[in-house]
Structure 1
Amino acid sequence: MILVTGATGTVGSEVVRSLPAGAEVRVMARNPGRVTGAPEGTEVVWGDFGVEGSVVRALRGVREVFLLTVPGGGDDGAFLRVAREAGVRHVVKLSAAAVGDSGAVDLITRWQRRNEELLRESGMEWTLLRPRAFMSNTLSWAESVRAEGVVRALYGESANACVDPRDVAEVAVRALTEDGHGGRIHTLTGPEPLSAVRQTALLGEVLGRRLRFEELEPEQVRAAWGARYPAKFVEALLESAERGRAGSKVEVHGTVPALLGRPARAFRQWAESHLEAFGAA
């Protein structure tokens, strides 16, 4: 049996949709009613990383796990201990490409790095997925695009080899259902590095509208993010943005095409699949 955590999130939801028909699947979610697109026969159970009894029940009979790091800066250690005791054979963990960058020392990357270490030391087989930023992060622009035809972002010329979450999910499903992924680190990127300015232009082309880009100052972004995230996470995100500005996120990896047998999806393809969010008819 495969257990999927984070099934209402960006990648977890795509993992659930992409699992092959006939696979024995269980989904653990804090809000089971929000789980959509699961294959027929999927078992959906309530579970919370902070409630050990729910984790024990969710892991009963499971051999493969798709794991998101415990939310809120938590430690995966307790979950991994229960998983090992339950007889889990293999954990496929969603991490971040920054973990492999020795210059990345912000809080969020240190947190991911520590949880990778815990998994490698767990005694279970492991696979690490390290994606770059998700193309879907641009959904945060949707409201201003619909209302004003404007994209506002920090460091407009800073490039990132962002990846389509669907590609990440397809790699995760391969790792969960095929042999040969144990002990491997898959760094996942899109086919090219793109800046916010270039993404704005591409999005405008797909929408058939002329969009304007406005660069935000760090203090504006700090205030906006501060309304959504704890201060310590805001500072970590700003540190990450500074590294990106220095060119740390432009490298393109060939992992997606090598594993999936096709090119990584381009940003234009992602945008064409999400036109309604940006106001297209």
Structure 2
Amino acid sequence: MILVTGATGTVGREVVRRLPADLHIRIMARDPERVAGAAPSAQTVVGDLGDRESLDRALDGVTTALLVTSSVGAGDDARFVRAANSAGVQRLVKLSAAAVLDRQAEDLITRWQRGNEELLCNSGLEWTLLRPRAFMSNTLSWAESIRSEHVVRGLHGTSANACVDPRDIADVAVRVLTEDGHAGKAYTLTGPEAITAVEQTERLGRLLGMSLRFEELSQDEARLVLDRRYPAPIVEALLESAERQRAGAKAEVEDTVQAVTGRPSGNFRAWAEDHLTAFVDRHGRRDAAAAPSGPGQ
């Protein structure tokens, strides 16, 4: 049996949609009603990475699991690994981050991911690591300002990132979860090109048939924006990460998606074409105008 965690998140929900219906699948979620797209035969159970008893129930009879964690410093990975060992799980597939390979990356989030990887590699379990670059879907955070102002605001708009389509990450995850030959491997996952926020803004504008403007935020302006969404230590980690991107640390392209799945990774235009409705108003208009709402990510 395969267990999927993070099934309502960006990657996990795509994994759930792609797992073959003839496999024994169990999905763990805090709110099972939010799980969508799973095969009718899939079993959904209530579980929380912070609750050992619920982990024990979710892992009973599981041989392979996808581990997705997001609470920095909460100890979720350690609890899950202990529970997986106790339940006799054979293989863990861990969603990590490409930044762990960068020796210059010492921000809080990257150090947390490195620690999680080390924990897994020393667990005695069979493991595989998935290390994606930034998700193309991060641009959905621009939707409100695009709809209301035709503006995208961000930090270091001309710095490039080899961002990846979450659907490609999911395709790789499904292969790793269902095939042999991936034990002890770490896969860095990128898109087919390094692209800047300014270029993403231009491409979105062409697809939407509107003129979009990119506004560069200062460091202080970006901090204020992030402060509205994240605790201070996470904000500083994200700002440090942005500086590494400006220095070119996130521009390298890998062909791992093709090596694992047999097809090339998808580009930003393809992702955007499939998500254009997120950038129009609820009536489907692409030319909405409203008073400026202030800086937005």
TM range (shorter): over 0.9
Matched, 1:53 2:53: yes
Cα deviation digits, residues 222-243 of structure 1 (max 9, x gap):
1111111110000000000000
Paired with 1:227 and 1:67, the residues of 2 have a C-alpha distance of: 28
* Aligned amino acid, residue 71 of structure 2: P
Alpha carbons 1:69, 1:112 under 8 Å: kept? no
**d(CA) in 2 for partners of 1:27 and 1:17?**
11
242-251 vs 24-33, greater mean Cα deviation: 24-33
Paired with 1:35 and 1:276, the residues of 2 have a C-alpha distance of: 21
Distance 1:256 1:128 in 2: 14
1:125 corresponds in structure 2 to 126
Letter in structure 2 aligned against 1:48:
D
1:10-159 → structure 2 map (5 Å cutoff): 10-69=10-69, 71-75=71-75, 76-159=77-160
SS for the counterpart of 1:197 is helix
Q: How far does the alpha carbon of each residue in 1:79-117 deviate from its partner, in whole angstroms, 9 at most, with x for none?
A: 101101101010000000001111110000000000000
The answer on whether the counterparts of 1:191 and 1:265 sit within 8 Å (CA) in structure 2 is yes
Paired position in structure 1 for 2:166: 165
Give, in whole Å, the separation in 2 of the partners of 1:234 and 1:73. Answer: 15
Residues paired across the two proteins, number? 281
Paired position in structure 2 for 1:230: 231
CA distance in 2, matches of 1:78, 1:114: 14
Q: What fraction of aligned residue pairs are identical, expressed as a percent?
A: 63
Look up the match of 1:269: 270
Moved more, 166-175 or 61-70: 61-70
Q: How far apart, in 1, do the equivalents of 2:207 and 2:63 lie?
A: 43
Name the SS for the 1:28 alignment partner: strand
Cα deviations across residues 152-206 of structure 1 (Å, max 9, x unaligned)? 1111101000000000000000000000000000000000000000000111111
Residues 6 and 69, structure 2, Cα contact 8 Å, conserved in 1: no
Aligned residue identity for 2:234:
F
C-alpha distance in 1 between matches for 2:108 and 2:249:
17
Decide whether the 8 Å contact of 1:49 with 1:70 is kept in 2: no
Cα 1:157–1:70 shift into 2, 3 Å: closer
* Gapped regions of structure 1 (runs ≥ 5): none
How far apart in 1 are the matches of 2:20 and 2:155?
39
**Normalising by structure 1, what TM-score?**
0.98
Give the TM-score of the pair, scaled to structure 2. Answer: 0.93
Other structure's SS at 2:235 match: helix
Verify: 1:211 aligned to 2:192, yes or no: no
Amino acid at match of 1:247: G
Tell me, yes or no, if the aligned pair for 2:72 and 2:112 is still in contact at 8 Å. no
Describe the SS at the equivalent of 2:129. Answer: strand
Kindly state the Cα deviation for residue 74 of structure 1 after the two structures are TM-superposed.
2.1
The alignment partner of 1:103 has SS state of: coil
- 1:265 Cα shift? 0.3
Q: Distance in 1 between matches of 2:152 and 2:188?
A: 28
Deviation per residue, 1:93-150 (Å, 9 max, x gap): 0000001111110000000000000000000000000000000000000001111111
Instruction: Kindly indicate whether the alpha-carbon contact (under 8 Å) linking 2:108 and 2:237 is maintained by their aligned counterparts in 1.
Output: yes
Deviates more, 1:145-154 or 1:124-133: 145-154
Farther-moved stretch of structure 1 (63-72 vs 136-145): 63-72
User: 2:293 matched to which residue of 1?
Assistant: none
**2:153 is aligned with what amino acid?**
R
Structure 2 residue ranges without an equivalent (≥5): 285-297
Letter in 1 for 2:268: F
Alpha-carbon distance in structure 2 between the residues aligned to 1:81 and 1:185: 21
Q: Cα 1:70–1:57, aligned 2, differ >3 Å: closer, same or farther?
A: farther
Correspondence list, 1:225-264, <5 A = 225-264=226-265
- 1:201 alignment partner in structure 2: 202
Post-superposition offset of 1:70: 5.4
Rounded to whole Å, the distance in 2 between the matches of 1:27 and 1:73 is 24
2 CA distance for matches of 1:139 and 1:262?
25
Distance 1:262 1:119 in 2: 29
- Contact kept? 1:69, 1:115, Cα under 8 Å: no
Query: In the alignment, is the contact (CA less than 8 A) between 2:129 and 2:185 conserved in 1?
Result: yes
Distance of 1:165 and 1:147 partners within structure 2? 26
1:196 partner amino acid: A
Task: Please tell me whether the aligned partners of residues 21 and 42 of structure 2 are also in contact (alpha carbons under 8 angstroms).
Answer: no
